[in-house]
Amino acid sequence: MIPLVDMHCHLLAGLDDGPRSQADAVQMCKDMVAEGVQMAAALAHQNEHYPDVTPERIRTAVRELTGALAEAEVPLTVFPTAEVMANPDIEGMWRQGALLSVADRKKYLLVEMPHGLFVDLCHTVTQFRQEGVSVILAHPERSAELLHDEGRIEQLVRLGCLVQVSSGSVTKPRDRRDASALKSWFRRGIVHLLGSDGHSPNRRPPRMAAAYRQIVTWAGNAVADRVGSTNGLAVLHGLPFHAPEPQPRRMRWLARFW
Ligand SMILES: [Fe+2]
């Protein structure tokens, strides 16, 4: 299997609702390596619930985790990242340097919807694009407004938004309707990146391999390799990558034969 890249994993002990200790974080990293993961966005939430989580605290925590991984001889490379909650002042916070970009390279910003709320992010995506930053929308499949209205997610993608889906949504969709919609996203080229959204060694472990295999079944090896590996590699190194235009939606009756 191609080396996997986990684009969304809470690995910074004590910073948010992720691992409680460095030992737990190192155990999660060992489990990730066993899953075939070689690189990961090691992130913490930046939102009103965690006002003390600053870019500098995340950078420091990732330096400490990198040291612990070297000591334990765990071959996982971790990149400092924030999961930023969308808010009306997000552009102002960015300009003030209050938000940490993916891998601290100022090219990509990982943004999640406010919990339990759907907000239109078209303006945000466009504004960031004008500043040379691509918004990556974290687990948009959780939002029924996006998952079951492909026009909305397609509009965001066409504006330059990248889409990161959680591995658990692939392996354990809520129902058949969700599974069918997500399968369509992968087949149409709506999804760019995969992340485990791991939080702990046991309760919310960082799983990637089963989702990769499911994506192979749904959309083929080429899609699974891009989403599970090479796109993430580019993003973590601040490089552009070619995201093909989303393919047109299939008619419902045609989809049965496809
Ligand atoms: Fe998360």
Cα 129 to ligand 1 centroid, rounded to whole Å: 23
Phi, psi of 139 (to 5 degrees): 35, 55
Cα 71 to ligand 1 centroid, rounded to whole Å: 27
Cα 180 to ligand 1 centroid, rounded to whole Å: 23
Architecture of domain 4-255: Alpha-Beta Barrel (3.20)
- For the chain, what percentages of helix, strand and coil (3-state, to nearest 5) are there? 45, 15, 40
pLDDT of 1 strictly over 90: no
Cα 171 to ligand 1 centroid, rounded to whole Å: 17
Tell me what the mean pLDDT of segment 192-202 comes to: 98
Please give the residue that has the higher pLDDT: either 253 or 172: 172
Residue of 158, 81, 163 whose CA lies nearest to 126: 158
pLDDT band at residue 250 using 50, 70 and 90 as cut-offs: low
Cα 111 to ligand 1 centroid, rounded to whole Å: 10
Separation CA 12–CA 10 (nearest Å) = 6
**Per-residue pLDDT tens digits for 146-173:** 999 879 999 999 999 999 999 999 999 9
Residue of 109, 108, 196, 191 whose CA lies nearest to 153: 191
- The model scores a pTM over 0.75: yes
CA atoms within 13 A on the CB side of 249: 13
Looking at residue 188, its pLDDT comes to 96
Cα 11 to ligand 1 centroid, rounded to whole Å: 10
pLDDT of 196 strictly over 90: yes
Looking at residue 134, its pLDDT comes to 97
Cα 211 to ligand 1 centroid, rounded to whole Å: 17
Tell me what the mean pLDDT of segment 227-253 comes to: 87
Cα 197 to ligand 1 centroid, rounded to whole Å: 5
Cα 256 to ligand 1 centroid, rounded to whole Å: 34
Q: Which residue has the tokens 């990961």?
A: 40
Cα 242 to ligand 1 centroid, rounded to whole Å: 25
Cα 37 to ligand 1 centroid, rounded to whole Å: 17
Average pLDDT, the chain: 95
Cα 218 to ligand 1 centroid, rounded to whole Å: 24
Cα 121 to ligand 1 centroid, rounded to whole Å: 18
pLDDT band at residue 243 using 50, 70 and 90 as cut-offs: confident
> Where do the H-state alpha helices sit in 102-225?
122-130, 144-147, 150-158, 167-171, 176-188, 209-219, 221-225
Looking at residue 254, its pLDDT comes to 55
pLDDT band at residue 248 using 50, 70 and 90 as cut-offs: confident
**Per-residue pLDDT tens digits for 20-55:** 999 999 999 999 999 999 999 999 999 999 999 999
**Per-residue pLDDT tens digits for 114-152:** 988 889 999 999 999 999 999 999 999 999 999 998 799
Cα 18 to ligand 1 centroid, rounded to whole Å: 9
Residues surrounding ion ligand 1 at CB below 5 Å: 83, 197
Tell me what the mean pLDDT of segment 200-228 comes to: 97
Cα 113 to ligand 1 centroid, rounded to whole Å: 11
Q: Which residue has the tokens 């149409």?
A: 188
Contact between 208 and 196 (Cβ < 8 Å) = yes
Looking at residue 245, its pLDDT comes to 87
Residue of 188, 137, 187 whose CA lies nearest to 7: 137
